[in-house]
Structure 1
């Protein structure tokens, strides 16, 4: 498999001189705009583009070429009511953002940031003159409103999120002036800038004060009148509803504004969008986005052949394949998975049952089960041969890739598995033919899942068959539909036998470590007790982990305390070495890449794009610079 270096680095600060841009934007006709906006300007309905643009707009380098204005882009989705696609095309306008290659963090609404050497203080300078979609200025007051009215309000935020707090203590946010804010942490937080570029870092720029303050009692003494008029139960419900991205009245900072929600979701260009291309054309190029529902291959085929430009994800639909449709003039964009193993099996290492806990915590027991899995069969029958046997480890595209870690214990060797289980004392079998414990007690466990996808279930069926073949009494328990709450209760009680999911951290290794060691009780369900201990050893449900895992936790704390990328990489390498030695989670096959299909006349889309939760595909590629060529 070809290797590509894909490294998540530290912030590269780009400081544009506001004086230059202030002078430039004062010139009449300095910027260009879409014809549909020029018509509104001519009618006196809208300020000129020069008056709408900030003093220091963000310049976006087009992927291929400077585009042309116009057109409608349709995005077929499985369910218009529940899809998250709009936020990944329209949203993601945060203080900072990932670059398109997921190599580094770059400025966005903040034009620059200064970090203290001890990673406790971060001072942001905002772009001057950026406006919300209703024309009101975006300033430090909006960030302070989020901080004071939302983050510090216990009725809206019961516990500050980890990205903006250290040891449960929220950062102090201070307004220096209209364009400058400072975040101060009580402990070093070297991940803060990366977290701000992550989707979890959207909050500081999501609360327009001039609109939302009317729904908050600290700013409107008569808010209960609005609660009654709007039919909400209390002011908190009212505020959350008005602050939601689903509220089309809330001003936005995105390239398009949602103007219709129903059978389709329609978004039209934001006249106050604050980004330009290299020829000083205000973005976006495309007039409108339409998210349209397709419930069958026939509907999908009709949509894709209706003459509009399209973008669709090949894994969007559960009940049919996009490749079964007859669609002309589409091109493929590779979506590079950020996951490691596609189906990772985390046996509950802190299980309340002492018999299962003893077995699961035994590394050789886990290794024996790993040897018993026929991964090539899984690859051939479930993944159509598009993957390879793979443990929980960084992907080949990652600079942290380690051949041994990725493939250790992945050979299919049931004879060795049987021998190892015998040597561990599980050599006797009961009347049912399954192994009993070294003390002669029958034992069994379940592979438990709440996945609605057939792929994960199909993998588990084959794993269960392989383990049964070496004498392990294992079965599958599925929690779907109305059983999902039972599954969650089991997980949060730490009483599950196993936790099955895709293993994150294949590319974003430092940010997503939950499968390399239990960093959080709810991100590392395979060892919740150890995760609780890492967060708070005094917690009554915390369980002290073994020394190697404690060493991983100590090393990770050191990563949080340094901004030096070389030091972080060295510490992360040590964590991975321990992870390889301990073999906490069993992998199956490498999560395969997927595809985004685009119309041949849609341009400025990179040929490959990372696919991850942390990287909200395709938003970091700046869809505002996509364009539709009417001649092609």
Structure 2
């Protein structure tokens, strides 16, 4: 209280009192409240100061019932005790949502075609905002780099809890890194994104809320990795650590009491052999043991947790300890339950979409599916967005094919060039993509940075079947038996088996390419297989040709070198050069030694990731990488197109997507926890 003299009269001025109820700010109506430091979200103290209010928390009326379906979860304390001291305050797009409902999702199969749905509930230390330019806080409250990008410090949220109510702390980040990411019993070798130029980082945890990544060399793209990747930089030490021998000396004994060989076997039952977050739970991995295990699934920080899993699908309920609230103080997520159905047949998936049986879908859809989906919008009560894509359908000859005669031909640059100019990209664009795409060559980066010479976008991308035929003749790939189709130089029949999965490339695109190749005398077979079958054949080096989408933005390349190091991506994506990768992994003990330009790519990507972004050094390295990758046609580009994004009209707070792409982790920038169902 303060006394003020005004005209000789003593007045009493009271300090401004914060409003009891905060304005329900949305992106559409900010109600006069200033934006926060980051788009569409606030830290609690930041929001209360901006809105001059005290946020009162409330919970989903059904949350106790939902919590009871999470096996072995304890009864719930009040919502304020379940939230961190500084929850993340989210401004919904259009309106404060309603609790309730079951979100219907559609995937291909267990661990196949699931990432668009997984990205709805996904969390990581940070994320990209929906402008796809600004990295914003998420699980982490803040971050800070040192001057030379060799130390990245995160501050976590005090009082944050796992879905079982146990504290989430910096120890969970260190456990993920030291005991899972770097443990050869879990990952045979560390993933690129947890190393810097192949060397491990160190993780320090001076207190429960501070995590310090110390890097052996600069890697400014590490932050973008955490913003875009499915691999979450934390795992529950209190839960999985119980079965890790480095954490618990009795880990094997406890595992054996559950019927497992050792502690690692239990960890793999929950976590799998990698950090793919949709690995099958014990409900599918160990159904004979699951009743004795501490939970059906490992605790999560995501918006929903799986409570039922079969080969037909999975079911999720809201995480009662989720760390986000809306601007009215309602704990997110709004949606009570999520039901995921598996359908590997593309026609079955389309039928379910047309019938309005699904609330959201983008993965495994292509522009060739758009006419059918658009025609049935009113009937199915859904909306289809057509958004630009970042990656494009890409073809790769298996340059380390197990058949030495095919390997010799596929490994010849002139053959790859002939196969590239045999493709009629303009016709492909008109027929499969309705003229909406851009024919181009694969250059590794998309969108294309300034350091890329435009000539590479059209390199060997002209349609010239006569020259292609001449080149094949000169290579000795000629028709020797007079049947109109060419043989290998040794006289063996040349047939390129084009196995594909619609998750990775539209079937119509494959058929058109196959016809173009047949027109220059290359015999092909086209067969649709499941994503699991495709990946299995790819991993065992049995594919003749890779057929999958490919490319990445600069920000992601700076944090992940997979596109540039044999086999040129990961299990879930587009790879060739499997035997080159074996040579690299074994230091030359087995596999095939890659050519010098591939060794240069490996050297350059490490230097590129450490160079200051946009510097002359960085641009020079990047330009050399593009020239090496493109001029050697390891991957043959087709058409950069658009893709459909499907959502039910009852799904609210669903924005316009800037891209239909995997690269920014699909739905993650578009804030799935604030979606709600208005049924």
Per the normalisation by structure 2, the TM-score is: 0.73
- Asked if 1 retains the 8 angstrom alpha-carbon contact of 2:107 and 2:341, the reply is yes
Q: Post-superposition shift, 1:219?
A: 4.5
Match of 1:564 among 613, 636, 645: 613
Provide the alpha-carbon RMSD of the alignment.
Answer: 4.6
Q: Measure the CA separation in 2 of the matches of 1:355 and 1:250.
A: 48
Cα 1:185/1:419, change in 2 over 3 Å: same
Check whether the contact 1:314–1:322 (CA below 8 A) recurs between aligned residues.
Answer: no
Deviations 1:177-206 (A, max 9, x none): 11112222333333322222233531x32x
Q: How does 1:393-408 map to 2 (within 5 A)?
A: 393=443, 398-399=448-449, 404-408=455-459
Q: CA deviation at 1:176?
A: 0.9
Task: Decide whether the 8 Å contact of 2:85 with 2:159 is kept in 1.
Answer: yes
130 and 506 in structure 1: CA distance in 2 versus 1, 3 angstrom threshold: closer
Q: Deviations over 1:209-232 (max 9, x none)?
A: 222333334444554554344333
Relative distance call for 1:396 and 1:239 in structure 2 (3 A) is closer
Match of 1:215 in 2: 243
Structure 2: how far apart are the matches of 1:82 and 1:553?
A: 29
CA 1:396–1:327 in structure 2 vs 1: closer, same or farther (change >3 Å)?
farther
Shift of 1:557: 2.5
Q: Partner residue of 1:258?
A: 306
CA shift in 2, pair 1:88/1:59, >3 Å: same
Q: C-alpha deviations, 1:8-61, integer Å up to 9, x for none?
A: xxxx9999889779999xx986234334459999xx964333333222222323
With over 3 angstroms needed to count, the CA separation of the structure-2 counterparts of 1:468 and 1:182, relative to structure 1, is: same
Deviations 1:312-345 (A, max 9, x none): 34846999975686734322233543313x1423
How far is 1:253 from its partner? 1.1
Is the counterpart of residue 487 in structure 1 residue 537 in structure 2? yes
Q: Bigger shift: 525-534 or 251-260?
A: 525-534
Equivalent-residue separation in structure 2 for 1:33 and 1:240 (angstroms):
34
Structure 2 unaligned blocks of 5 or more: 1-36, 68-73, 273-277, 283-295
Aligned equivalents of 1:610, 1:171: Cα separation in 2: 33
Change (3 A) 1:404 1:23: closer
Partner residue of 2:463? 412
Deviation at 1:103, TM superposition (A): 2.0
Alpha carbons of structure 1 residues 177 and 467: separation in structure 2 relative to 1, 3 Å? same
Deviation at residue 67 of structure 1 after TM alignment: 3.1
Q: How far apart are the structure 2 equivalents of 1:18 and 1:465?
A: 59
User: Once the 2 structures are TM-superposed, how far is the Cα of residue 233 of structure 1 from its aligned partner?
Assistant: 3.5
Counterpart residue number, 1:501: 548
Correspondences of 1:228-377 after superposition (within 5 Å):
228-243=256-271, 246=281, 248-261=296-309, 265-292=314-341, 296=348, 300=352, 304=356, 310-313=359-362, 315=364, 327-340=379-392, 342-346=393-397, 348=399, 360=410, 363-377=413-427
* Aligned position for 2:29: none
Separation in structure 2 between the aligned mates of residue 199 and residue 416 of structure 1, nearest angstrom: 42
Secondary structure class of the residue paired with 2:637: coil
In 2, Cα distance between the equivalents of 1:280 and 1:522? 42
Could you say if the C-alpha distance between residues 169 and 421 of structure 1 is closer, same or farther in structure 2, counting changes exceeding 3 Å? Answer: closer
Cα 1:82–1:363 change in 2 (3 A) is closer
Partner SS, residue 63 of structure 1: coil
User: Deviation at 1:485?
Assistant: 8.8
In structure 2, the partner of 1:178 is 208
Q: Does structure 2 conserve the Cα–Cα contact (< 8 Å) formed by 1:110 and 1:125?
A: yes
Give, in angstroms, the shift of residue 435 of structure 1: 6.3
CA contact (8 A) 1:34 1:282 kept: yes
1:302 is displaced (CA, Å) by 9.5
SS in 1 for 2:239: helix
Q: Deviations over 1:372-403 (max 9, x none)?
A: 22334444555555545332146885555865
Q: Paired residues, what number?
A: 600
Aligned equivalents of 1:602, 1:616: Cα separation in 2: 20
